[in-house]
């Protein structure tokens, strides 16, 4: 018998801060081997980028259900924990530790749900050791290799924790994209006593940013309006009576399905260009896509998962696209995918913890999803 609590505690006790797996992958592999899964380690990258991945598979043919998860966790630097972050201590019905929510609990619950489950078709698990950082050598590398071998999936679930709502209240059917941008403005330096002889890049930058920050859209049926957050303004000028030559800023956009990386970059550049020309400054603008926007266009999988959650919890789950991105953005190119996991209130924070009662609910939700999928 698999004990979900023991399994989760074992996983939390591995300090698997990205991209180190610190033994966590061995624990997952051993548990799955006991359930009859064939396991393949797929290691990509080298040196400090080396990333452990696991692809485990059981059964044959269609339909093929895949579960995606990650054993890596974010660090605990600068956080004050009441209990050791890798101690997995239990207090008042909760297990404390980094990854208790995000997302070692999801992995433990899905493995428990597989116990004594008989089915016609294939079940696989793609578990990566790098989801929290830039996942070049994680899920996208594994999916590339597997699809080159001809692997195909019918549907997939990512076991990421949901929002701040109770377990089962939310499923994620998509995520916004993330675009980082850097804008530098060059003016003309000079004495603050002779402002007319200078062009102040700090003031110009602020004016341009005010134009750039205007609404990007009104949102869609699936997504809230895209947002833009200015994250830093850098001038570094130490002299109070000197107008500097240059000022730069960085901002991040969370964009919805109304944009592509290209169209959004063009929109921002047009706004910047218009404002900069009006003021009379030159500028340099660069963007980098951190994650593309995605949405699950399939209706069958969300309906199935929502019905399973209803039957277990009595809750009527809402479909959400809020929050950061997830590895579902890579899987969506191969099959319908959505995120279904435990309540995520407090993940990445100090004293991250999961209610033991939630583990039981999540196991039953996953089990019911599998039953519905294979019947
Ligand atoms: Zn996660």
How would you write the chain as a 3-class SS string? CCCHHHHHHHHHCCCCECCCCCCHHHHHHHHHHHCCCEEEEEEECCHHHCEEEEEEEEECCCCEEEEEEECCECCCCCCCCCCCCCCCCEECCEEECCCCCCCHHHHHHHHHHHCCCCCCCEEEEEEECCCCCCCCCCHHHHHHHHHHCCCCCCEEEECCCCCCCCCCCEEECEECEEEEEEEEEECECEEHHHHHHCECHHHHHHHHHHHHCCCCCCCCCCCCCCEEEEEEEECCCCCCCEECCEEEEEEEEEECCCCCHHHHHHHHHHHHHHHHHHHCCEEEEEEEEEECCEECCCCHHHHHHHHHHHHHHCCCCEEECCCCCCCHHHHCCCCCEEECCCCCCCCCCCCCEEEHHHHHHHHHHHHHHHHHHHC
The reported pLDDT for the residue numbered 323 is 86
User: Does residue 345 register a pLDDT over 90?
Assistant: no
Rounded to the nearest whole angstrom, what is the distance from the C-alpha of residue 76 to the centroid of ligand 1?
15
List, by residue number, the catalytic residues: 72, 131
The reported pLDDT for the residue numbered 238 is 95
Q: In this structure, what token pair is assigned to residue 222?
A: 């699936």
The pTM for the full model equals: 0.90
User: Does residue 164 register a pLDDT over 90?
Assistant: no
Q: In this structure, what token pair is assigned to residue 13?
A: 């006790």
Q: Residues 112-136: what's their mean pLDDT?
A: 96
Fold of 4-175+293-374: Aminopeptidase (3.40.630)
Q: Residues 294-323: what's their mean pLDDT?
A: 95
pLDDT tens readout for residues 36-67? 999 999 999 999 899 999 999 999 999 999 99
Q: How far apart are CA 224 and CA 187, in angstroms?
A: 36
The reported pLDDT for the residue numbered 340 is 96
Average pLDDT, whole number, for the chain? 96
Rounded to the nearest whole angstrom, what is the distance from the C-alpha of residue 20 to the centroid of ligand 1?
15
Phi first, then psi: what are they for 293, rounded to 5°? -75, 145
Rounded to the nearest whole angstrom, what is the distance from the C-alpha of residue 312 to the centroid of ligand 1?
23
User: Does residue 163 register a pLDDT over 90?
Assistant: no
The reported pLDDT for the residue numbered 127 is 98
Rounded to the nearest whole angstrom, what is the distance from the C-alpha of residue 254 to the centroid of ligand 1?
18
Rounded to the nearest whole angstrom, what is the distance from the C-alpha of residue 307 to the centroid of ligand 1?
24
User: Does residue 283 register a pLDDT over 90?
Assistant: yes
The reported pLDDT for the residue numbered 94 is 97
User: Does residue 236 register a pLDDT over 90?
Assistant: yes
Q: In this structure, what token pair is assigned to residue 47?
A: 């040196």
* Ranges of each domain in the chain: 4-175+293-374, 177-291
What confidence category does residue 121 fall into, taking pLDDT thresholds of 50, 70 and 90? very high
CATH class of 177-291: alpha beta
How many residues are there in the chain?
375
Contact 84, 141 (CB under 8 A): no
Integer angstrom CA distances of residue 177 from 164, 239, 259, 267: 21, 39, 9, 15
Residue 338: strand pairing partners: 157
Q: How far apart are CA 10 and CA 4, in angstroms?
A: 10
Q: Residues 193-215: what's their mean pLDDT?
A: 96
Q: In this structure, what token pair is assigned to residue 92?
A: 């008042």
Rounded to the nearest whole angstrom, what is the distance from the C-alpha of residue 244 to the centroid of ligand 1?
43
* Side-chain-side CA neighbours of residue 61 (13 Å): 4
Rounded to the nearest whole angstrom, what is the distance from the C-alpha of residue 162 to the centroid of ligand 1?
10
Rounded to the nearest whole angstrom, what is the distance from the C-alpha of residue 261 to the centroid of ligand 1?
24
């Amino acid at each position: 018998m698999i004990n979900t609590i023991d399994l989760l505690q074992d996983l939390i006790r591995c300090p698997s801060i990205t991209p180190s797996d610190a033994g966590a992958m061995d624990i997952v592999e051993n548990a799955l081997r006991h359930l009859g899964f064939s396991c393949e380690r797929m290691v990509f990258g080298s040196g400090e980028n080396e990333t452990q991945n696991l692809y485990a598979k059981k059964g044959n043919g269609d339909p093929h259900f895949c579960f995606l998860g990650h054993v890596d966790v974010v660090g605990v630097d600068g956080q004050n924990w009441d209990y050791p972050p890798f101690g997995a201590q239990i207090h008042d019905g909760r297990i404390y530790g980094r990854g208790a929510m995000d997302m070692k609990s999801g992995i433990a619950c899905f493995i428990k749900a597989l116990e004594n489950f008989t089915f016609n078709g294939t079940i696989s698990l793609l578990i990566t050791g790098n989801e929290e950082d830039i996942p070049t050598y994680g899920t996208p590398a594994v999916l590339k290799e597997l699809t080159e071998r001809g692997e195909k999936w019918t549907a997939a679930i990512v076991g990421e924790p949901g929002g701040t709502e109770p377990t089962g209240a939310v499923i994620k059917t998509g995520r916004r994209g993330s675009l980082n941008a850097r804008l530098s403005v060059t003016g003309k330096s000079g004495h603050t006593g002779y402002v007319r002889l200078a062009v102040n890049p700090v003031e110009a930058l602020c004016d341009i940013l005010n134009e750039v920050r205007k609404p990007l859209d009104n949102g869609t049926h699936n997504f809230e309006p895209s947002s833009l957050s200015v994250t830093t303004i850098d001038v570094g000028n130490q002299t109070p009576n000197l107008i500097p030559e240059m000022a730069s800023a960085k901002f991040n956009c969370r964009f919805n399905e109304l944009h592509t990386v290209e169209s959004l970059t063009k929109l921002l550049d047009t706004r910047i260009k218009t404002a900069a020309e009006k003021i009379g400054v030159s500028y340099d603008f660069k963007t980098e896509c951190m994650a593309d926007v995605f949405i699950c266009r399939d209706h069958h999988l969300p309906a199935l998962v929502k019905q399973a959650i209803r039957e277990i919890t009595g809750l009527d789950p809402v479909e959400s696209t809020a929050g950061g991105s997830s590895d579902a953005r890579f899987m969506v190119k191969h099959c319908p995918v959505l995120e279904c996991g435990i309540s995520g209130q407090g993940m990445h924070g100090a004293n991250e913890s999961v209610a033991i009662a939630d583990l039981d609910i999540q196991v039953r939700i996953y089990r019911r999803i599998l039953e519905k999928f294979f019947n």
